[in-house]
Homo-oligomer: A and B are copies of this chain.
Amino acid sequence: MKNWNFNVGPSQLFDSVSGHLSEAINLGYGSISHRSKAFEKIYQHTDEQLKSLLNIPKENSIFFTGSASEIFERIGQNLIENSSHHLVNGSFSAKFYDYIHSLKLNPTKSEKALGEGFSNDEIVVPENADLIALTQNETSTGVMIDEVYIQNIKKQYPDKILAVDMVSSAPICSLDYGYVDTAFFSVQKCFGMPAGLGVWIVNDAVIEKAKKLESAKKTSGAHHTISDFYKNYKTFQTPCTPNVLFIYVLGKIAEEMNKIGVENIRLESIKKSEILDSMIQSNGKLLQHSVEKINERSKTVRVMNVGDNKNILEFLNKKGLEVGAGYGPNKNTQIRVGIFPAVPVEAYERLSQEVLSFGSLG
């Protein structure tokens, strides 16, 4: 029986990844310059496929970095004059805040306990904040911020840049880019690829803000600046030599997703969630939802309280099912299951059966 990896990232690869990598090498893409026509075609294809998949407006730009963490820093270096305000409800939203702080900018935050979201809170953002940052899906706790809530923040603060970390939610959660100025993700989550590429989506307001700060000498750093990215993006080039192979593979994966249809992928994702939720419901002694409010439960990361997680993780591992431990303070008492496109519905059915058979042993 096939082994399955339910880790929340790096996660199960799509079966097609290996073939796309070999194909890229056979086509000579491992050796091409980022100034070549061949590279421009690869970039353009990936750009088009991602725009179609994520419903990103044509006029937005898509840039590539080494990781999503790198984008935290680029946002701080390029887009913040005075300060940023952060919705912090887990380790990754806290990390975004910390990065901005380390750049000697003066971030502020609205903070929630682990496992809680913001659905009942009206956020108050200080007047001098240039940017509002939030994490659509906290991979550490399995809490999400829903799409309507995100839109409402922008409606309340239309003049501030809204930045959305969608690292483990894209393309399962949709975003309306009429309300989001910049968003980013990495490929080792829902895109089922090996780690090593960050994807950064920006609109014209972001480009303008970065240009304005740069003219006023209020940006810092020269690596992967927004103005350099944008100048090169116009001809589908990059400022420095990028990870060409992974940009190619991402274009292929996005193309495959578009063929299936993003709505179908989202529907399948709901099916997987339902399997997990009924598994939790049918053994409340063994498993409890760690996120209490249903509307704050992530669509892509299900987190459960299990007491000591050692035995259940070992049991599943022996069955060829790899499930993640908790994160940070919940490392030993929770399990985290990724609900990602590369793992099929049948695998969740098997996981559910095995978890329940473990439960019946106790």
Question: Per a CB cutoff under 8 Å, which of B70, B77, B102, B103 touches A66?
Answer: B70
Establish whether residues A223 and B70, one from each chain, have CB atoms under 8 Å apart when the complex forms. yes
Return chain B residues, CB-CB under 8 Å to A26.
18
CA distance A73 to B219 in the complex (A): 14
Overall SS of chain A's interface: loop
Interface residues on A, range: 35 or more
Establish whether residues A220 and B10, one from each chain, have CB atoms under 8 Å apart when the complex forms. no
A243 interface residue (CB < 8 Å to B): yes
Question: Per a CB cutoff under 8 Å, which of B30, B188, B221, B222 touches A241?
Answer: B188
CB closest residue in chain B, given A15: B25
Establish whether residues A241 and B17, one from each chain, have CB atoms under 8 Å apart when the complex forms. no
Establish whether residues A73 and B22, one from each chain, have CB atoms under 8 Å apart when the complex forms. no
Return chain B residues, CB-CB under 8 Å to A98.
222
Return chain B residues, CB-CB under 8 Å to A188.
31, 241
| Identical copies of this chain, number | 2
A194 interface residue (CB < 8 Å to B): yes
CB closest residue in chain B, given A39: B10
Task: Give A221 Cβ to nearest chain B Cβ, in Å.
Answer: 6
Task: Give A245 Cβ to nearest chain B Cβ, in Å.
Answer: 5
Return chain B residues, CB-CB under 8 Å to A32.
10
Question: Per a CB cutoff under 8 Å, which of B13, B18, B221 touches A102?
Answer: B221
CA distance A350 to B12 in the complex (A): 45
Question: Per a CB cutoff under 8 Å, which of B34, B66, B99 touches A222?
Answer: B99
Return chain B residues, CB-CB under 8 Å to A225.
102
Question: Per a CB cutoff under 8 Å, which of B10, B22, B242 touches A196?
Answer: B242
Establish whether residues A196 and B103, one from each chain, have CB atoms under 8 Å apart when the complex forms. no
Establish whether residues B5 and A102, one from each chain, have CB atoms under 8 Å apart when the complex forms. no
CB closest residue in chain B, given A66: B66
A148 interface residue (CB < 8 Å to B): no
Question: Per a CB cutoff under 8 Å, which of B11, B69, B102, B224 touches A31?
Answer: B11
A300 interface residue (CB < 8 Å to B): no
CB closest residue in chain B, given A32: B10
A25-B13, A25-B21 known; A194-B7 Cβ under 8 A: no
